[in-house]
Structure 1
Amino acid sequence: MPEPERRPPHVQRVDQPVDGPVPAWLMPPHDGFTAEDLDHLPHLPPHSELIDGSIVLVSPQASFHMLTVSLIEGALRPQLPDELRLRREMTVTLAQRQRPEPDVLVLRAEGVTGRDQTSYQPEHVVLTVEVVSTESELRDRERKPELYAEAGIPHFWRVENIDGEPVVHVFALDPATKAYVPSGVHHNRLKLSVPFEIDIDLTEIDRL
């Protein structure tokens, strides 16, 4: 006889009824969720994003992703000019049905309104950074940078995992086309003069 299917006790078969009420975010309205909905849907998992009116849930992240985000955050923070602020894993409300969450973002200080703020406006953001994960590579490489560019965010970095080492693809916005133009691929060291003087030793990931 075939061996019975085994699963962790908290995982139910998809053809079995769900215990308790179904979370509201599992049943989107016919025209999709709005950016404001993310602040009000009960029991929404942390770091949920809104892309094209659909809620995107974040899968467990690999160590590379966590270490790379920590490396970039830790290196950028002491290099920030006084008029800029850095945030990790906070959303940007780009449009009514677009509220992605960059891994790292840099914004102007006037865009920070208080400790209870849950999202930022694109006109204040100067840089977004996405570290590509296996489950989100299409969004990180295509849809999210497309949305950031359409919203006028001037700088975007895409960080790839190449043999366990971070490689940073740097893009700058072409205001005429509202599209990003590649301006360099950086291995081992990321040294830039825009949007401010930046110098990051990417090999430091091995010491984290």
Structure 2
Amino acid sequence: MTKLSQKLTRDGTATLPAAVTVTPDEYDTLPPDSRIELLDGVLRPMTPPTARHQIVMMRLVTALLRRCPPALAALHEQEIRLADDLRRNPDVLVVRAAAVNLDWFSFPPHEVVLAVEIVSPGTQTADRKHKPAEYADAGIPYYWRIEPTPIFAVHTFHLAETDVYESTGVFGAGEFITVPGLDWAAIPVTELIP
């Protein structure tokens, strides 16, 4: 058993210590796991999604798949390699279809058109502050944040010339998500609400 295997197993049989530091090469030897991210060389287990979160995610992926132009593909819980020691797994992402390798799970940020996070208990700060800043720094053109409670809302953002996200709207029940530059993604918010 390797030193890294002793620190962590991904089959649920080991308890993750408070902080496990790994090199990017060590991280790359681990089996893919959408419930673990790498933040500045530290493994970060993600909180398990609630049923509400999963339903919203599946509905959004389905809605995007129906609307994506052929040059794009919608996926969920795939890795964005923001840097060697910084990997994030957005809840939903839209990537350039040419970048999709059916046997791989990771995308460089320049292939990502849209990253979406669904706020859940335990992810509020990361989804509202850290991840948008990281995605903007990486040049991802669009970011959406879905707030399922207390009132369902979809917050949409576009990367401005200043390299920070600017709000392009907040959409609730009875409205269509309308974002300049993503005309194909006009989704009725009601389709996403559990």
Please confirm whether the aligned pair reaches a TM-score higher than 0.5, indicating the same fold: yes
> Is the counterpart of residue 200 in structure 1 residue 192 in structure 2?
no
For structure 2, list consecutive stretches of 5 or more residues without a partner in the other structure: 10-15
- 2 CA distance for matches of 1:46 and 1:185? 28
- 2 CA distance for matches of 1:45 and 1:120? 14
Q: Could you give the per-residue CA deviations for residues 125-162 of structure 1, whole angstroms, max 9, x where no partner exists?
A: 11000001111111111111110000000000001123
Change in Cα spacing, 1:71 to 1:166, as seen in structure 2 (3 Å) is farther
Kindly indicate whether the alpha-carbon contact (under 8 Å) linking 1:91 and 1:102 is maintained by their aligned counterparts in 2: yes
Q: Name the counterpart of 1:119.
A: 106
> Is the counterpart of residue 82 in structure 1 residue 70 in structure 2?
yes
> Is the counterpart of residue 40 in structure 1 residue 32 in structure 2?
no
Q: How does 1:119-138 map to 2 (within 5 A)?
A: 119-138=106-125
Q: Identify the match of residue 152 of structure 2 among 159, 166, 170.
A: 166
Q: How does 1:6-155 map to 2 (within 5 A)?
A: 21-23=6-8, 26=17, 28-29=20-21, 32-34=22-24, 36-41=25-30, 46-112=34-100, 114-155=101-142
Quick one: percent identity of the two aligned structures?
Answer: 33
The alignment's TM-score, normalised by the length of structure 2, stands at 0.83
Kindly indicate whether the alpha-carbon contact (under 8 Å) linking 2:117 and 2:145 is maintained by their aligned counterparts in 1: yes
User: What amino acid is the match of 1:135?
Assistant: G
Kindly indicate whether the alpha-carbon contact (under 8 Å) linking 1:111 and 1:121 is maintained by their aligned counterparts in 2: no
* SS state at 1:106 partner: strand
* SS state at 1:140 partner: helix
User: What amino acid is the match of 1:63?
Assistant: A
The alignment's TM-score, normalised by the length of structure 1, stands at 0.78
Larger radius of gyration: 1
Q: Name the counterpart of 1:180.
A: 165
Matched length: 181
Deviation of residue 109 (structure 1)?
A: 1.6
For structure 1, list consecutive stretches of 5 or more residues without a partner in the other structure: 1-19
- 2 CA distance for matches of 1:85 and 1:78? 10
Q: CA RMSD in A?
A: 2.3
Deviation of residue 52 (structure 1)?
A: 2.4
User: What amino acid is the match of 1:49?
Assistant: E
* SS state at 1:200 partner: coil
